[in-house]
Amino acid sequence: MISRRTIRIKVLQTLYTYYSTPDKSINNSEKELFFSLGKTYDLYHMVFQLIIDIADYAQLRIDTNLNKLRPTQEDLNPNTRFVENRIIQQLRINRRLKAYVNQTGISWANHPELVKDLYHFTVESEFYNEYMTRKQCSYFDDKKLVEKIMNNIILISEDLHQVLEEDSIYWNDDLDLVVAMATKTIRFFNEQSDENQPLLPKFKDEDDRQFAVDLFRKSILNNDELRNIVDQHASNWDLERIAFMDVLIMQLALAEILYFPSIPTKVTLNEYIEMAKYYSTEKSRTFINGILDKSLKDLKQSQKVLKTGRGLIGEEE
């Protein structure tokens, strides 16, 4: 499922686009937000399909070698451990994956060279050769191989990153997120998993979906109040001189602090400071941390931070 961290990132990106375009429509931007989240979910399924396609390419090579005019002993007695990997077979028959692929039409068919290259990177890896030469392999070994292909081959492939960047602007920052989702999914598989084995839903629950809507809308509708708070605590800084992305990160963080009573302030601060690592400079991150810290103290003193339930965690400190 798409994590709240991913939701926050997508809201930040959509908010940036909203303020950067002359035609500002909250409804249209909200649709864009959910389209972006949908593309993330597409890529989650595409990672599984890519694993299957790599195995299919391995099978194609076996078949081609068997049909040689003068096949070698190795050609006639191929090691089929990879193509028979039980996790890959379970993915291949998974009804939810097949239905999603058929419904959306997602495919790697336009990128045969990428599949070929990923296959070669896989077979050249130490972990693959160790797996293929073991005397026996357990279901756990099959699972670990698939996890390693996702995290040690797919995740770091520059060719794949380039393909994703060219295919969709929505996938620029998504691969690490969806590989983590896919790895988590695989860990729920077991030897008894059949075609009905569940995959992760797009959202954990309706609360997460509503969180995306509310965070986006409350940030825009309370724009003046939120930016005034930033301005008040950015001593010796003109708001116009602060990097636009830094302002948006602080705007979202403050919206979450003020308008989401069930989210602890420590969680909010940690999430947005972490986000600043990737979307701001080192200097900006320190600046954002300082502004948010001063803002939170003043907001608490004026009793504007009202937390309830789980949102009270850490507040007594």
**pTM recorded for the entire structure:** 0.92
Q: Mean pLDDT for each 10-residue chunk of the chain (317 residues)?
A: 94 95 92 97 98 98 92 91 98 98 97 98 98 96 98 97 94 92 97 97 96 97 95 71 87 97 95 90 83 93 92 74
Sequence length of the chain is: 317
- If one counts every other C-beta atom within 10 angstroms of the C-beta of residue 247, the result is 20
Angle between helices 206-221 and 26-66 (to 10 degrees): 130
Which domains are present in the chain? 26-186 (no CATH), 222-311 (1.10.940.10)
pLDDT for res 240: 60
pLDDT of the residue at 317:
54
Tokens of 65: 């070698």
Between the CA of residue 147 and those of 7, 164, 183, 188, 199, what are the distances in Å? 24, 20, 6, 12, 15
Phi-psi region of 243 (alpha: psi -120 to 50; beta: other; left: phi over 0): beta
The single-letter code of the amino acid at 181 is M
Instruction: Please tell me whether residue 216 adopts helix, strand or coil conformation.
Output: helix
Q: Nearest CA to 285 among 250, 237, 233?
A: 250
In whole angstroms, give the CA distance from residue 31 to residue 34: 5
Q: Within 13 Å of residue 14, how many CA atoms lie on the same side as its CB?
A: 27
Q: Do 74 and 61 form a contact (C-beta atoms < 8 A)?
A: no
What is the predicted pLDDT for the residue at 282?
75
